[in-house]
Amino acid sequence: MAGSSAFRWEGAGCLRMRLSLAALSGRAVRICGIRSQELNPGLRDFEASFIRLLDKVTNGSRIEINETGLLHGGKIEHDCHTQRSIGYYLEALFYLAPFMKRPLKATLRGVTNDQTDPSVDTLKVTALPLMKRFGIDDEGLELKVVRRGMAPGGGGEVIFSCPVRRFLKPVQLTDPGKIKRIRGVAYSVRVSPQIANRIVDSARSILNKFIPDIYIYTDHMKGTNSGKSPGFGLSLVAETTNGIFLSAELASNPQGQGSPVLPEDLGQNCAKLLLEEVYRGGCVDSINQSLALLYMALGQQDVSKVQIGPLSPYTIEFLRHLKSFFQIMFKIEAKPLEEQKGGEKVLMTCIGVGFSNISKTVT
């Protein structure tokens, strides 16, 4: 998209963020010099795949890509490029889906679990409950893993369904509560089923010292449901007394990359990552900070407050872009040290811009 009033940026940084916010705000963007100094300039295959997905789920968008872009030319089906997992694409769909003309049902194919992006398992148990807090709460909200696919071969399949809303509700999430239970899934594909059991035992050896209510189930998919590459991993989530979900996850190294990972090491390290996330605390975990802030900004013209842990670098950049696209700023308050439990916390406050889905006539 281009125009005299278009936002202009240089380079490939924050491409997904910028295009998603452009679609929501209706503002044109012009991005130049994408990897212009590299031997292989232009868009990477996964970025081109994301642009194709954005073109499928939007109506009226005009996308122009010049010779340095290198773009190879209701119900959505999309094959995600295996350089990035399905989670990379899902995060953008979470931004857009509630404001579409009709409820979304998207089938995404590719890598479901890797070491770069949030896994489908983690997004299912953290992002979906967060979306319900903002009023996206009927039975049409679902994320289902049909086939699991590990990097690098992929072969996984996920179905994401989301209803539409005219408005988002303001929220007041200032007290995360105390951890009451831990749940998780240890998955394995094209390896021995015993690996998942070893992961569970090693993770529990750490977590059992802190809380008794722990259940980690094993998921060993076979045949066509196991994707194209071997691998294993663990996704953990801690639930609080106030219905807040904090997550951590780890996956094995992709086939042919790096040294082999022992299931015992992976399980223990993932458990420690969960404890670190609990220490960071807040009412939204690290991977969903930007989603919560976007929904707060687009909510009704009322005050929303959310307490979160330390802002991630991605979240800080996201706040800058929210200001550019929607002219909205957040009040950021650090909690007094004597009131904090665990790491430093910040209280994010804003008044929503009153974003309305004009295609949705009733709430």
pLDDT in tens, 316-327: 999 999 999 999
For residue 338, tell me if it sits in a domain: no
Of the two residues 267 and 334, the one the predictor is more confident about is 267
Establish if 210 belongs to a structural domain. yes
- Do the domain assignments include residue 183? yes
In 3D space, the residue among 189, 17, 22 whose CA is nearest the CA of residue 113 turns out to be 189
Once rounded to an integer, what is the mean pLDDT over residues 251-270?
Answer: 93
Boundary of a domain, candidates 250, 280, 310: 280
User: Does any domain span residue 314?
Assistant: no
Q: Is 272 exposed, middle or buried (0-12, 13-18, 19+ CB in 10 A)?
A: middle
- pLDDT of residue 2 exceeding 50, the answer is no
Q: Tell me, what CATH number does 269's domain have? A: 3.30.360.20
Does residue 170 have a pLDDT over 50?
yes
Last residue in a domain, options 10, 38, 73: 73
Average the pLDDT over 173-184 and give the result.
95
Asked if residue 339 has pLDDT above 70, the reply is no
The 8 Å CB, 24+ separation contacts for 63-66 are: 63/1, 64/1, 64/2
- State the pLDDT at residue 71: 35
Q: How many domains does the chain have?
A: 2
CB atoms within 10 A of CB 281: 23
pLDDT at 281 over 80: yes
pLDDT at 77: 86
Predicted pLDDT at 70: 36
Specify if 316 maps to a domain: no
Residues spanned by the domain of 239:
179-280
Residues 248, 271: Cα–Cα separation, whole Å: 8
Q: Could you give the CA distance from residue 334 to residue 281 in angstroms, rounded to a whole number?
A: 13
pLDDT at 344 over 90: no
Examine the pLDDT at 42 and tell me if it is beyond 60.
yes
3 within some domain: yes
Q: What is the mean pLDDT of residues 330-353?
A: 85
Of the three residues 280, 304, 322, the one that is the final residue of a domain is: 280
Higher pLDDT, 66 or 57: 57
**Domain annotation covers residue 260:** yes
Answer yes or no: is 215 within a domain.
yes
Q: Is the pLDDT of residue 74 over 70?
A: no
